Amino acid sequence: MISFFACLALLIIGFLTYSKVAEKVFGPDDRKPPALTMTDGSDYVPMGTPRIFLIQLLNIAGLGPIFGALAGACWGPSVFLWITFGTLLGGGIHDYMVGMMSMRHKGASVSELTGTYLGNTMKQVMRVFSVILLVLVGVAFSTGPANLLAMLTPDILNSRFWLAVVLIYYFIATFVPIDKVIGKIYPFFGICLIVMALGVGGAILFKGYHIPEITLSNLHPSGNPIWPTMFISVACGAISGFHATQSPLMARCLTNEKDGRKVFYGAMVAEGVIALIWAAAGVAFYDGTGGLLTALGNGQSSVVYEICFKLLGPVGAVIAMIGVIACPISSADTAYRSARLTLADWFQLDQKPVKNRLILTIPLLAVGSILTQFDVQIVWRYFSWSNQTLAMIALWSASVYLFQRKRFYWITVVPATFMSAVSFTYILIAKEGFQLSTGIAYPAGILFAAACFGVFVYTCILGKGKDTPNVSEEEKATA
């Protein structure tokens, strides 16, 4: 239990200290942000910072810090270390830099930011990559909530009925101004997510459950290697590329650059705390990794429901059902919205006119509704890998951004190099990848990370890159 509290303290201290280091490195100032200079009543809508914080938390979290933390806890309390340091050194830096870069570039999506700093080829790759990833998130989080709602209502309201309702909601949330639906209901569900985590954490502590101390031993019952599988499995609880698609949404609503630390870095730390609580609850409630892995065999939603119900009673059951229904829906609707904005940036289509929003929203939801009729689990298996690969690319983009402005770029270069090794090693050993042995995958992952680092050094530090984008005159004047 000492380990758990030590990691919790580190997360809090890290936010109070390291986030300020990140802020100093980036250098926010008093310039007017896009929310004030480009207000359109649709996506660029000024909102208060506390409200934006709760929206950002739900945007990036959903069930990610719960499901991912429970999966990561199957390796034992060593996951506490990854959640803590991954959040502070990786996820917080990633989310903050992408969000702030987006504010400096008129609320640009991550694909456009990538193109600005890694070149046109990477921009085209990221455009396609991002849209596919976001639509898959929308599809995956459509049928699950629909099935759960069907279980809780009369037979006449079957899963097809609720799927139609969910898709109609997605259309509305994707299409209407961000402050009309997302801005009104997300803060409430963000509070629910926090309350659920605090309730579970408090019950674990006060009802005498044993939270084991950290050990670096691999405690996974199936013997799955910690590196890099655990680092991929936790995802949203430590660092997630999906966050890079979400932060620009709030970058278009923040009214002060200096609030970026609280929103982008702060929401990531809050997610890390939630993940830490659920990881501890998983190993404590099921008395070890063996019991947890067995329980997860019945589905992650059932594990969440069981823990909440037995620890918190009927109230906990209600909170759990709100979580496993509302949280995935919140991930999906902002995924579709991010996809719309990515396409809008791609085709330079102004989203203030209603007609232009419909031009993108209708096809996106049409494709999403068609895909819900198929088994997308085979494709979805690649989500975890593609998610962390996106984080890797976003961090390298931020590294070039900082280098060009003569800022301390090592704050992003180190986690970018680390995530390069994680992503490449995973796809080499994973079942959905090349299924190579660790004897081959581990050295190859290290070599790939070294190669990425070498390209950065050669292109930026040594100044050998012919196609390295230059800082705009406007940015030079304000850097």
Please give the backbone phi and psi of residue 107, each rounded to the nearest 5 degrees, phi first: 75, 25
Token pair for 448: 């790939």
The proportion of the chain whose per-residue pLDDT surpasses 70, expressed as a percent, equals: 95
| Separation between Cα atoms, residue 280 and residue 298, nearest integer Å | 19
The answer to whether residue 476 scores a pLDDT higher than 70 is no
The answer to whether residue 110 scores a pLDDT higher than 50 is yes
Helices 64-72, 266-285: axis angle to 10 degrees equals 50
Residues 208-219: pLDDT tens digits? 899 999 998 899
- pLDDT at residue 316, rounded to an integer: 79
Token pair for 313: 């009673």
The answer to whether residue 321 scores a pLDDT higher than 90 is no
- pLDDT at residue 471, rounded to an integer: 57
Residues 221-274: pLDDT tens digits? 999 999 999 999 998 899 999 999 999 999 999 999 999 999 999 999 999 999
Pick the more confident residue, 93 or 139: 93
The proportion of the chain whose per-residue pLDDT surpasses 90, expressed as a percent, equals: 72
The answer to whether residue 149 scores a pLDDT higher than 90 is no
- pLDDT at residue 141, rounded to an integer: 83
**Least reliable range by pLDDT among 141-150, 169-178, 256-265, 382-391:** 141-150
* Averaged pLDDT for residues 363-383: 80
pLDDT-derived band at 330 (thresholds 50, 70, 90) equals confident
If we measure between CA atoms, which residue out of 309, 241, 264 comes closest to residue 64? 241
The answer to whether residue 475 scores a pLDDT higher than 60 is no
Q: How many other C-beta atoms are found inside a 10 Å radius of the C-beta of residue 162? A: 22
| Residue ranges of domains in the chain, CATH in brackets | 2-382 (1.20.1740.10)
**Least reliable range by pLDDT among 75-84, 277-286, 312-321, 372-381:** 372-381
Pick the more confident residue, 164 or 467: 164
What is the three-state SS of the chain? CHHHHHHHHHHHHHHHHHHHHHHHHHCCCCCCCHHHHCCCCCCCCCCCHHHHHHHHHHHHCCCHHHHHHHHHHHHCCCHHHHHHHHHHHHHHHHHHHHHHHHHHCCCCCHHHHHHHHHCHHHHHHHHHHHHHHHHHHHHHHHHHHHHHHHHHCCCCCCHHHHHHHHHHHHHHHHHCCCCCCHHHHHHHHHHHHHHHHHHHHHHHHHCCCCCCCCCCCCCCCCCCCCCCHHHHHHHHHCCCCHHHHHHHHHHCCCCCHHHHHHHHHHHHHHHHHHHHHHHHHHHHHCCCHHHHHHHHCCCHHHHHHHHHHHHHHHHHHHHHHHHHHHHHHHHHHHHHHHHHHHHHHHHCCCCCCHHHHHHHHHHHHHHHHHHCCCCCHHHHCCHHHHHHHHHHHHHHHHHHHHHHCCCCCHHHHHHHHHHHHHHHHHHHHCCCCCCCCHHHHHHHHHHHHHHHHHHHHHHHHCCCCCCCCCCCHHHHHHC
Q: How many other C-beta atoms are found inside a 10 Å radius of the C-beta of residue 402? A: 23
If we measure between CA atoms, which residue out of 29, 368, 408, 308 comes closest to residue 170? 368
Residues 67-79: pLDDT tens digits? 899 999 999 999 9
Q: State the chain's mean pLDDT as an integer.
A: 91
The answer to whether residue 376 scores a pLDDT higher than 70 is no
Give this prediction's pTM. Answer: 0.94
- pLDDT at residue 379, rounded to an integer: 62
The answer to whether residue 382 scores a pLDDT higher than 70 is yes
The answer to whether residue 474 scores a pLDDT higher than 90 is no
- pLDDT at residue 319, rounded to an integer: 78
| Separation between Cα atoms, residue 251 and residue 257, nearest integer Å | 9
Residues 36-89: pLDDT tens digits? 999 999 999 999 999 999 999 998 987 788 889 999 999 999 999 999 999 999
User: CA 192 → CA 176, 246, 262, 415, distances in Å?
Assistant: 24, 20, 19, 31
- pLDDT at residue 184, rounded to an integer: 92
Residue carrying the six token digits 């019945």: 298
| Separation between Cα atoms, residue 392 and residue 423, nearest integer Å | 8
**Least reliable range by pLDDT among 10-19, 109-118, 379-388:** 379-388
Residues 413-450: pLDDT tens digits? 999 999 999 999 999 999 889 999 999 999 999 999 99
**Which residues have CB under 8 Å from 80's CB, separation 6+?**
3, 4, 7, 214, 276, 279, 280
pLDDT-derived band at 300 (thresholds 50, 70, 90) equals confident
